[in-house]
């Protein structure tokens, strides 16, 4: 019997502000049904000027460290595609803000929205080597497209922190994994740009092809049949994508896609993403949080995960929900993280979209906006300055 390893705890944080899609629709003359029904989004998180992937990551991880202590955490993996530095890992700032022991290995991972899943799998390998150790895997991203582009409606921001350990308290991650990589230019962000470039239609096709490829490999590795899963957490750039992807897999496997099957399989995973928007690496695990928070008892049930990162890499794997998981959920805090956001008007959103830290090497304080646990207080000599609030 292999040692059970998986997600022991999960906590998330999101940005200070929320832009309702009704406001974006009123600005650009879009029929609101396209956002609410067509892409399945109600609002998107907008970080304050003094928030970034570091403050989001630290805010997500602080409750995990508070609950479990840091004695067993010997590795921190921070996955992001909205990196703040080409050399220094954002995880090192988080390690400092959380007061983690110096005897810790810290690293940043990148492959678009897939990075956190690589982090989770690498963490499982480390725990297998020494089951006494725990790994803190953090996914933290801010999704930003050009103003007035089709991608604008699919922005968002969030961080998810997961503690990976032996005898996990929430979900035991299983073998095998189905893997898929293809070199496609569906979505990318060159180093000189703050906003992503995307071919929207091609990106949806690339996602579906990758989901199919990962599923095919999963089946060839003797994975379980679709019917053996109680629900599916898909990467959600917008929540309708989870429906599209599941319908695609059902069709690929020769199943009927009429009726409520798709909604039953993915509906409960979309609640947080629908309000937060695309949180890139964090999105598939926000789906897990929503599912665990809302579903009837899932003890012993198997969940399917499909992680996709443009460019592209995908992985399909299963996890079984463990007994007693309901006592370890953070449902109240999760709902609070979403509902505490302050609504922002269009002018305020646009100002934040255009706001950037000065790059002249001088001393600059950031406006005090966040009401979160940590803030980016400024920049001095090209060094970001962080503080606990």
Residue ranges for the known binding site for (3S)-3-hydroxy-3-methylglutaryl-CoA are 145, 244, 278
Instruction: Look up residue 132 and give its two tokens.
Output: 């006494």
Q: Is 156 left (phi over 0), alpha (psi -120 to 50) or beta?
A: left
10 Å Cβ neighbour count for 3?
A: 11
**What secondary structure letter does DSSP report for 88?**
S
According to DSSP, the β-strands at 43-46 and 17-20 are: antiparallel
The distance from CA 149 to its chain's CA centroid, rounded to whole angstroms, is 22
In the complex with ligand HMG, which residue's Cβ is closer, 184 or 230? 184
Chain residues in the site for ligand HMG (CB under 6 A)? 31, 33-34, 37-39, 81, 112-113, 150-151, 153-154, 186-187, 198, 200, 203-204, 207, 235, 237-238, 241, 278, 280, 308-310
We find the least distance from the C-beta atom of residue 373 to ligand HMG, in angstroms, to be 26
Q: For ligand HMG, which residue has the nearest CB?
A: 38
Q: Return binding residues.
A: 145, 244, 278
CA distances, 105 to each of 89, 90, 100, 269, 335 (Å): 11, 13, 11, 32, 32
For ligand HMG, which is the closer residue by CB, 47 or 151? 151
Please report how close the Cβ of residue 65 comes to ligand HMG at its closest, in angstroms.
Answer: 27
Identify the active-site residue in 21, 95, 235, 243. Answer: 235
Is residue 235 part of the annotated active site? The answer reads yes
Set 81, 108, 212, 315: catalytic member:
81
Whole-angstrom distance, CA of residue 375 vs CA of residue 161? 18
Q: Which is nearer to ligand HMG, 54 or 210 (CB)?
A: 210
CB of 129 to ligand HMG, least distance (A): 30
The nearer residue to ligand HMG, 55 or 80, going by C-beta atoms, is 80
| Active-site hit among 16, 51, 95, 113 | 113
Active site residue 152: no
- In whole angstroms, the minimum distance from the beta carbon of 99 to ligand HMG comes to 31
The reply to whether 382 belongs to the active site is no
Closest CA relative to residue 147, chosen from 49, 276, 19, 275:
19
> How far is Cα 227 from Cα 224, in angstroms, rounded to an integer?
8
> Which residue's CB is nearer to ligand HMG, number 56 or number 73?
56
Going through the chain in order, the beta strands assigned E by DSSP cover 5-14, 17-20, 43-46, 73-79, 105-109, 134-143, 156-166, 171-181, 187-188, 197-198, 231-234, 302-309, 313-321, 342-343, 363-365, 374-380, 383-388
Instruction: Tell the smallest beta-carbon distance from residue 256 to ligand HMG (Å).
Output: 19
Which residues have a catalytic role annotated? 81, 113, 235
């Amino acid at each position: 019997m292999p040692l059970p390893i998986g997600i022991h705890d999960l906590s998330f944080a999101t940005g200070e502000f929320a832009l309702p899609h009704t406001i974006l629709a009123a600005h650009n003359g879009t029929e609101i049904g396209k956002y609410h029904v067509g892409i399945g989004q109600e609002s998107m998180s907008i970080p304050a000027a003094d928030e970034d992937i570091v403050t989001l990551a630290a805010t997500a991880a602080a409750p995990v460290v508070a609950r479990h202590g840091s004695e067993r955490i010997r590795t921190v993996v921070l996955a992001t595609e909205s990196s703040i530095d080409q050399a220094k890992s954002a995880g090192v700032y988080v390690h400092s803000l959380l007061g983690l022991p110096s005897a810790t290995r810290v690293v940043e991972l990148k492959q678009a929205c897939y990075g956190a899943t690589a982090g989770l799998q690498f963490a499982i390998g480390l725990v297998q080597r020494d089951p006494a150790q725990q790994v803190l895997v953090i996914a933290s991203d801010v999704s930003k497209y050009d103003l007035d582009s089709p991608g604008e409606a699919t922005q968002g921001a969030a961080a998810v922190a997961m503690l990976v350990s032996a005898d996990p308290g929430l979900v035991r991650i299983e073998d095998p994994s189905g893997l898929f990589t293809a070199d496609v230019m569906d979505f990318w962000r060159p180093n000189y740009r703050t906003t992503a470039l995307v071919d929207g239609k091609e990106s949806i096709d690339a996602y579906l092809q990758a989901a199919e490829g990962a599923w095919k490999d999963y089946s060839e590795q003797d994975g379980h049949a679709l019917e053996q899963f109680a629900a599916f957490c898909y990467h959600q750039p917008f929540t309708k994508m989870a429906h599209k992807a599941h319908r695609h897999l059902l069709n690929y496997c020769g199943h009927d896609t009429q009726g409520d099957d798709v909604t039953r399989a993915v509906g409960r995973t979309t609640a947080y993403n629908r309000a937060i928007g695309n949180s890139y690496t964090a999105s598939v695990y926000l789906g897990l949080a929503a599912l665990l928070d809302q579903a009837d008892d899932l003890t012993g049930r198997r969940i399917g995960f499909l992680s996709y990162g443009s460019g592209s890499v995908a992985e399909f794997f299963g996890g079984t929900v463990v007994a007693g998981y309901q006592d370890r959920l953070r449902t109240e805090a999760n709902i609070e993280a979403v509902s505490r956001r302050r609504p922002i008007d269009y002018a305020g959103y646009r100002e934040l979209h255009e706001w950037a830290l000065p790059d002249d090497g001088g001393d600059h304080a950031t406006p005090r906006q966040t009401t979160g646990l940590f803030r980016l207080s400024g920049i001095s000599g090209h060094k970001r300055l962080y503080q606990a609030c």
